[in-house]
């Protein structure tokens, strides 16, 4: 047994989250792609069967009331809230991340006022956020200015209406400084809009603590809600009465069954709703979130850093020198819960890794991404993945 193998074994024996692995549907594969799609929690299939067979099949329309379908967006939002450091009544679940980015950014610009005519957007953002920011700018008559997160404090000014940023860079796993950037945006009189897709469920966010204005996120990555599970929208309490959604729907009306021709927004987080909720996927998400009932986000973060530390150590030991380059910061304060390695033939390397039972993903043209979900990834998994990567890179096909 090698020194690193023994180190991983010992770490697993003292892992306070180790038992959580038993609450997921897993096999012998080392699954390091939870930053794209989380594993299936055991509670979900039975819950979905009940929703389909009893709530829909037997109760039918009565389930909007008797099964709590109508209130699901806010109820599930309140379950997500502690995972992102938010108090109750500020998160509503529904729609996709893309739709929520659009709602969030346009509403933020409207709150900022007509005298602020510029939107800043993370130049390294996931492409969809950039597309939506460009459309929002055109629709609101603002100028869009792409800048890197590091440039934001210097780009802010009295023209800035809103700033759309990613908490964690989806390519590199770099964690951006949400507290400092949010404070800088606030000091400039602008509004902050954060995309939490690659941080929620992997590390503390602190939305309330740090005064974030608006935030969005998906639920199918570290929150394990399932493919296409609904996203969420956070609007801090102090802004809710000014949140003017560009997608006013009957579900966000103050009297949704009044069927009035004029729109009057509902109070609180309900303003983030649009149309009829996606009940099947929403209630699957609710079941998936039960794995978090007795979990501390701080414990998840501590394990995430330990897992990625071990992986980087093992890669340095097992992979031939110069064969890969880590794009993920070594400093804990700048690291999310993934490791991105630049590799000349990354697509083929990932294909061969998957054939050998290690699942990560590939981002063109040359990036291997490995996501570490602390609820079900163990230290032996990490050591095995790095060892097999070393073997693949040592013995080319």
Reference 100, options 248, 232, 250; nearest CA is 232
| Selected catalytic residue, list 47, 116, 221, 303 | 221
Q: Is 195 a catalytic residue?
A: yes
Compute the distance between CA of residue 83 and CA of residue 41 in angstroms, rounded to an integer.
17
Compute the distance between CA of residue 222 and CA of residue 36 in angstroms, rounded to an integer.
8
Strand partners, 342: 325, 367
Tokens of 246: 């560009």
Compute the distance between CA of residue 277 and CA of residue 95 in angstroms, rounded to an integer.
8
Compute the distance between CA of residue 108 and CA of residue 189 in angstroms, rounded to an integer.
12
| Selected catalytic residue, list 33, 195, 213, 361 | 195
Let me know: does 337 contact 222? Beta carbons within 8 Å: yes
Q: Is 28 a catalytic residue?
A: no
Q: How far is CA 125 from CA 120, 128, 168, 284, in A?
A: 12, 8, 9, 29
Q: Given the DSSP bridges, would you call strands 358-359 and 30-31 parallel, antiparallel or unpaired?
A: parallel
Residue 115 has, within 13 A of its CA and on its CB side, a CA count of 3
Q: How far is CA 220 from CA 15, 69, 185, 224, 296, in A?
A: 24, 20, 29, 5, 19
| Selected catalytic residue, list 31, 102, 220, 311 | 220
Q: Is 126 a catalytic residue?
A: yes
| Selected catalytic residue, list 102, 126, 370, 376 | 126
Residue with tokens 């390091």: 32
Residues noted as catalytic: 126, 195, 220-221, 369
């Amino acid at each position: 047994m090698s020194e690193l193998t023994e180190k991983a074994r010992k770490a697993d024996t003292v892992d306070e989250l180790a038992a959580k692995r038993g609450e997921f549907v897993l096999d012998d594969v080392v699954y390091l792609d939870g930053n794209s799609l989380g594993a299936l929690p055991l509670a979900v299939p039975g819950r979905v069967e009940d929703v389909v067979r009893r709530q829909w099949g037997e109760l039918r329309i009565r389930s909007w009331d008797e099964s709590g379908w109508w209130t699901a967006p806010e109820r599930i939002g309140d379950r997500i809230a502690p995972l992102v450091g938010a108090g109750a009544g500020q998160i509503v679940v529904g729609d996709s991340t893309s739709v929520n980015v659009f709602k969030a950014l346009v509403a933020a610009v409207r709150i900022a006022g007509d005298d602020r005519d510029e939107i800043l957007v993370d130049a390294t953002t996931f492409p969809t956020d950039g597309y939506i920011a460009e459309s929002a700018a055109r629709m609101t008559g603002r100028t869009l200015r792409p800048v890197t997160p590091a440039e934001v404090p210097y780009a802010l000014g009295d023209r800035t209406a809103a700033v759309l940023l990613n908490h964690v860079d989806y390519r590199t796993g770099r964690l951006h400084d949400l507290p400092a950037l949010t404070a800088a945006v606030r000091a400039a009189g602008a509004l902050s809009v954060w995309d939490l897709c690659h941080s929620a469920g992997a590390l503390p966010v602190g939305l309330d603590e740090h005064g974030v204005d608006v935030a969005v996120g998906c639920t199918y990555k570290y929150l394990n809600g399932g493919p296409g599970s609904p996203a969420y929208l956070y609007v801090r309490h102090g802004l809710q009465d000014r949140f003017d959604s560009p997608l006013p729907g009957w579900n966000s009306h103050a009297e949704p069954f009044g069927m009035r021709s004029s729109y009057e927004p509902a109070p609180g987080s309900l303003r983030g709703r649009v149309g009829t909720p996606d009940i099947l996927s929403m209630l699957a998400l609710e079941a998936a979130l039960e794995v978090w009932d007795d979990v501390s986000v701080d414990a998840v973060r501590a394990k995430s850093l330990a897992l990625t530390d071990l992986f980087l150590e093992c890669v340095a030991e097992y992979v031939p020198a110069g064969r890969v380059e880590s794009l993920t910061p070594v400093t804990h304060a700048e690291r999310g819960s993934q490791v991105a390695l630049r590799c000349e033939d990354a697509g083929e390397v990932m294909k061969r890794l998957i054939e050998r039972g290690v699942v990560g993903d590939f981002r063109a043209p040359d990036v291997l991404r490995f996501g570490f979900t602390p609820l079900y990834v163990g230290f032996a998994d990490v050591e095995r993945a790095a060892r097999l990567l070393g073997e693949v890179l040592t013995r080319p096909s």
